[in-house]
Chains A and B, each alone.
Chain A
Amino acid sequence: MFDHPENLLLLTLLLPVLGAVVVWAMGTRGRSAVRVTALVFALLTLGSAAYLISQYPAGGSQSFAASSLGEVSESLKVQFTVGLDGLSIWMFGLSALLTITAILVSWEAITDRAAGFYALLLLLEAGMLGVFAARDIILFYIFFEFTLIPLFFLIGIWGSEDRRHAAIKFFIFTFSGSVLTFLGLLTIVLWDQSQSATHELTFSIPQLTANLLQHPLPMDAAHHYLQLWVFLALFAGFAIKVPLFPLHTWLPLAHVQAPTAGSVILAGILLKIGTYGFIRFNLGLLPEASAACVPWILWLSVIGVVYGALVALAQKDMKRLIAYSSVSHLGFCMLGIFSLNKLGMQGGVLQMINHGLSTGGLFAVIGMLYERYHTREIAAFGGLTRRLPRMAFFMVLFTMSSIGLPGLNGFAGEFLILCGSFQRGWQQWKDTLSPQLLVIAVISVSGVVLGAWYMLWLVQRVFYGPLREPAPDASHGHAGHGHADEKHASHATVKSGKHDTHVTHTAGHGDDHGAHGALPALPPGPADLNLREILALAPLVVFMFWIGLAPGYFLRGMTSTIDPIAVQAGKPLDAAAGNLPVGTPPPAAKNAAVPADVAAPESFAVPASAESVSSVFIPTHNRSVVQAATDSR
C-alpha cells in the first residue's frame, strides 16, 4: 500500500475520522487516555501525510496520488475524487502538522468533556485535509463547509466568556458568504455543461479548468458580464474566509473567544482555505474577471495590510492583536496572489504556509501564557523573560518570523510578494502610465514597518522591562470577581482586582552597568515551558528555519501548478498593456510585427494610455488582444 500514494492519501484522510470515532467512543475513559489516543491518531496522520509528501515528485505534479472512489450519485456525476498538486501539497502537510500542535497545547487546558473536544479536533483535521485534497468541485464545497462545524462547536463549547456570540457570528458570517460561492460554483459547472460538445456534466476541477480555457465564461455586455458575476459570487465566500478588509470583523472575535487549539487551527489553516479557493477557482477558472478585478482586490488587500497593522497597534488583548496581525498578513497573501505574476503568486502561496507557522506558533505561545495567568491583557504583564525564558525565546523567534526576518520563513514569502506586486505595478506604469498599482505596491511595503512595530512593541511590553505579572492563578475568570475580593482585601496582601493585581517585583537595573547588579531573588510563580509544550512548538521552529533557509525547495514543488495559473490569469493584464505574455520568449523574426499588431487601432480600441486598464472591466475586445498576442507567436 505504501507503493501507491493514492491509497496513502485515502488513508491519510480516513485516519483522523477513524480517530475521531475512537476518541468519541472512549468518552468515559477519562482525559489522559483520550488525549493520548487523539495524539496517536494525529501522529499517524502526520506520519502518513509526511510519507506521502516525501513521495511527491521534485518537479511537481498536477495529479499526485489522485484517485476516485466512483460516483456518489449516478445522475449528478459528483465523485469522491481526491489528489494533490503543487498548490495544495504544503497546505495539506501543514494541516497535519498544526493538528499536533493543537492537541499538545490543549493537553492541560481542556478539562471539560475532553473526548468531545479531541474528537471534534480530529474531525476538523479531516475536513482540512479534505479541502486541500478534493479534486471535485462539490466535494471541495462539502469539505469547505464541513470545516465550519467542528470549529463552531470548539469555539461555542470550549471558548471564553463570550463564546456563544463569537461562534454564531463566525458561523453565520462565513456561511452566508459561502452560500453565494456555492451558487457561483454551480453556475460554472452548468455553463461548462451547456458549452461542451457532449453536454456532459462534470464536477472535476482539473477537467473544468481545462474546459474553461476552451470556452470561458462570457465577459461581455451581451451576457451581462456573467464571468464577473460568478467571480463576485465566489469572492463573497472566499473573501470572508481570508478575510479581506471590510469583511474581517468575525476574525478577532472568533480568535479571542476560541480555545488555543481553535485559534491555532483557525489562523493556521482555515483562513488559507480562502486564499486557496481564490487561486484554485477564481484565478484558475475565471482568469479574465480576475484580471479585471485586480485593482479593486489589490486596494482591499493593501488597505487590509495597513489597516490591520494599525488596528493591531491599538490592541490591549494579545490574542486580538495577533488576530488583527492575521488580517494584515493575509492582506499580503492576497496582494501577492493578485499580482498575477509568478513571483507574487509563489510568494503568496509560500506566505500562506509561513503565516500558518508563525501565527499558529504565536497563538500557541499566548495560549500557554493564558494557561498560566488566566489573562491575556498586555498591560498585566512585563519582563516575563525573567520568569519564562524559554517561552520568551519562542515568542521572540515567532515574532521575528512574523515580521519577516531573513533566515526565517516570513521573509521569503514577503519579499516575493512585494517584489511581485511591485513588478506588476511597474509594468502597468511603464505600459499605461497609470501609477495605481505601483502606489499600492509602495504602500504595502510600509506594512512591513508597521508589522515590526506592533509585534516588537508587544514583545517589549510583555517580555521586557521589570518583572510584572498578575497574581499567579488569582481567579479563573478574571471578570466579575468584585465582591469576593473586597471581602478578603482586609487580610490579603495581594489584592485581586483587574488593575491592582500586578505586583512589581523588581525595578530592574537602573543603570547601564546591570552586569554586576545582582538581581533580586525570583519570587515563586508559574514554571517555564515543559517538554510537552516545547514539543508542541519545536516542529514549527524547524519548518521556519527550513523555509527560511531553503525556500527554493518548497517553491520548486509548487511551480508547475502555480505558474500556469499565474501566466494564464496575468495574460489579460499583460496583453492589455501591450506586453507579451510573460513566459514566452520573444519572437526573433517577427519582433517588429508584434507591437504593430498590438497597436493596430482598427481591430480594437486599446485603452492603453488614455484610460487606465484597471478602472474598466476588460471588455471583449481585449480578449482579441490576448488572441492577437497568442497568434503572433
Chain B
Amino acid sequence: MNESALLHNSLLIGAILFSLGVVGFLCRRNMIVMFLSAEMMLQGVSVSLVAWGRYHNNWDGQSLVVFILTVAACEAGLALALVLMLFHRTGSLDIAIWHQLREADQPAYADAELPEDTDAAPRHWPKLTPAGHEPQHSEEEELHRSHV
C-alpha cells in the first residue's frame, strides 16, 4: 500500500466518521447522543489530520490532534455537566425542550402529534420465561431451525 492510497483510505474513514456525526447530530434529540455525535465529527476531523500529517511527513497534524483530544476531553467534561444540569431541570434529555432563545413573537416548537396507535390486530411480543423456570420449547421452531 503506497502513501497516497493510505491517505485516501484514511480520509475516507474520516469523512465517513464526520458524516455519521453530522447526521447523528442533526437527527437525534437525545442530548448525550448528540454530544457523542459531535465527538464523532471531531474524531473524523482528527483522523484526516493525522492522515495528512503522515502524508506530508511532519508532526503538524498529529500535534494538532493531541490538542484536539485535550480540548475534547475538557469539552466533554463541561458539556456533560451542562447536560446533567439541563436534565435536572426537566427530567428529560430531549434537546427540543430548550427553545427559549427563539424570537419573542415566534411560536414554541411542539412535536407533531403522532396518530394514536389504532391497529386492532393484537401484537405478539416475545415472552421471556422468568428466571428459574424451564423455557417452553416449540416443536415447530426447533424443526425449522436454520442452523443448528
Q: Assess A/B contact in the complex (Cβ within 8 A).
A: no
